Structure formats: C-alpha cells, structure tokens
A and B are shown apart, each in its own frame.
Chain A
C-alpha cells in the first residue's frame, strides 16, 4: 500500500474529509482522541498484520509520525 493510500484509509476510518491528513498536520488539529488511536491500531493490524505499541502512538504529534510508525512496523515484519 502506498503512503497516500494509507492516509486515505485512515481518513475514512476517522470520518475525515479526503485530503485532510497531510504529513505536517498536527494531530491536535483533527480531534485525535482515544477512538482515533484505536482506529489507527485496527487499520495497521488489519492491513499490515502488526500490533503497534499504544505508547508509541500516544507519542505521535503529527500525521507524519503515524506514517513513520507504520513504516517501522513494515521493516520489523
């Protein structure tokens, strides 16, 4: 899956408008909450068969941090 493809899926899961997630966008701008974290964990698990440590997700500040976590997960696989 491409980087953009992943972001579009995440937008769908978070009920955001298409294109809302851009790399440098702060997560605080998109009402990132506990349901968002769970949706993100489910998305990564469903598409990349890996469980990301929630503490690492909690440390994310920007959309690019979320993408970097997925990339690290893929490398680990």
Chain B
C-alpha cells in the first residue's frame, strides 16, 4: 500500500511592525553600510523589540491560519516548532504555545532546534508523520527573532538579520499529485562557523568573546567566507539530487525558493545552477535574513497570490547553521496564503502589501 498523499493547506507569516533601515546602518557604520546593503540586497529589516518573542509572531500567523482554513484547534494532531530563539530554556516553546492556540490534550508538541534549513526539515518531519498515519493534521511553526542575538556593533551581521514567525498547515490529502521529495544533510565539522557560544550548558557564563570587542560570547558570530564556501559545495548537488528524485528538470519547476541568506549568494547560486533568474525568489529588501522563517516568508510575500489561485511546483532549499541543509520538491496549491501580517507590541496586526500585486 502506498503512503497517503500529503497536502499543504496554507502558509501564513507575521513580522514585527518595527523597521530597522539602511540609513540607521549608515549612521553606525558609515558608507560601508551602503556597500553591504548593495551586496546583500537588504535595505530594511523587521525587528522585534525586547517584549516580542518568536512565539508571539508564530501565534499571530497560526491564529490567522486556523481561522482562514476553518480548522478547529482540537483537530491538530501535532504541532512542530522550528526555532533557535525559544521563549525559555524550558519548556519547549511549542508547549508554551499549546494553550494559547487552544489545542487539545492529545496534540503532540515538540521543538526543532534548527535555523536556515529548519523549515524544510519541519516539512519533512510533518510529511513523515502524516504518511506514517501518526497524524492527520500537522501545524508547522517556523520562526526566529534572530536580530535579538546580534551585536549592533558587529558589522559582519548587524545589517543582515530580521525577525519573523510563520505557520504552515499540512494534512493527509486525497490528491494524486503529492510530489513531495526531500533531501536532508548535515556537516557538523562546520558547527563553529555559525554559533552563539554562550548561554547554553557548555558555556553558561556570558562574557567577552573577541579581541575587537564587537560582540560578546552570547552574540551570534558567523564566518561568512566559510559559510559561503559550504553553500557553494552543498547546495548545487542538493538541487540536482532533488530534481533527479522528483524526475523533474528545471523546466518543470515554477519557482525556486532558497533560504534568503543574501542576494549575492542567491544570485550566484542561481547563475551557477543555470536557473532562470525569474524563477529564483529573492525577497530580502524589506525583511532581511529571517533564519528559519525565510523560506515560508518569501513564499507568502512573493508567491502568495499564485498559490492561492493555482497548483505550483516548488523547489525549496535551506542551508546554514549546523552546518546543515535540506531541500524539498513539492507540488502544492491552491492553498490559503494571507498577506504577511505586521504585529505590533500591543498584539494588533495589519496586512502588508503583497510582493507581486
């Protein structure tokens, strides 16, 4: 007996209302900030204040999702939360969110500690649970307030990261053309290249980290050259493997949505893999790199209207912290994709204009 088909029923995203602009970067770092912005393609970033957590953004997205689909909370069998910026050391953020969403006591909740590759890993886990019969409906939350981990004096990362929370609804479906193919990988030898060294139990005491004093040990540090080299080594084979497994060519793919690291990397990868430029989704200018939320946020903003109206073939590729990577080839839509919401600190939301309206 073949595994049941899995359907993505909707994707919703929320970002904070507060905007950090490139002009603020210029005031701090001088003209170098413009050079960075021109390379990364990031001008404005949505950043969470000290009173806003990833769970708040994901709650807004998930509430909109459940209401839009008309799904009663008690029908959710599993909620997965992909984040590296949890509310607490314990309990899991998914458990902390469980009651706020009104989920049933029979709903399994668990967190996944991944970033750039995490959304696709979450899709893989959700799909596996649905295909195994362990669940009929899964709510996948992916988000980070990664800007809160960055030193504002660290020029290498201070102008890169934005914050977002997303919710994706999946369930067992009846359609034949499920087309879900995954490829997951890890290279832990590069773990140190994207790291927050302190604050866990290896180095619980926080303190100075680098001789230059740009950041402390509880801040995010990233070796951009090592991460770029890793990306060049791993992403093209990942995409080739996905196409092979799905029996697709690039002509069959409607859009390629990679982790929104920065424009320079995405354009280089697109060119290297000979992906037509119009198929490579780049949604960085107003959001920045939003870690685990970057792929669903880019889908919501850039492809929302298409996915509400029609079935699309998407190729997803996440890569980064771990170091890890994950790719998916999936056919999905029509589905529920509301506009990206901006969440204020008082809990109110407003819809942003979509990218391709």
Which A residues contact B (CB, under 8 angstroms)? 15, 34-35, 37-38, 41-42, 45-46, 51-54, 57-58
Contact = CB atoms under 8 A, between A and B. Distances in A.
30 contacts: A15-B35, A34-B156, A35-B35, A35-B39, A35-B224, A37-B225, A38-B225, A38-B228, A38-B264, A41-B225, A41-B228, A41-B229, A41-B232, A42-B228, A42-B232, A42-B264, A42-B268, A45-B232, A46-B268, A46-B271, A46-B272, A51-B233, A53-B229, A54-B223, A54-B225, A54-B226, A54-B228, A54-B229, A57-B225, A58-B225
B273 to A, nearest CB: 12
Interface in B35-79: 35-36, 39
A72 B27 CA distance: 42
Main secondary structure of the interface of B (DSSP, over half): helix
Nearest to A36: B225
A34 B272 CA distance: 21
Contacts of B264: 38, 42
Given A42-B228, A52-B229, 5 more contacts: A34-B225, A37-B224, A45-B268, A51-B232, A57-B225
A37 B228 CA distance: 10
A38 B224 contact: yes
A45 B233 CA distance: 10
Contacts of B35: 15, 35
A46 B225 CA distance: 15
A59 B351 CA distance: 49
Interface string B230-272: 0011000000000000000000000000000000100010011
Contacts of A15: 35
A14 to B, nearest CB: 11
Nearest to A54: B225
Which residue among A34, A37, A38, A51 has the maximum number of chain B CB atoms within 10 Å of its CB?
A: A38
Interface in B270-323: 271-272
Contacts of A51: 229, 232-233
B100 to A, nearest CB: 41
A13 to B, nearest CB: 10
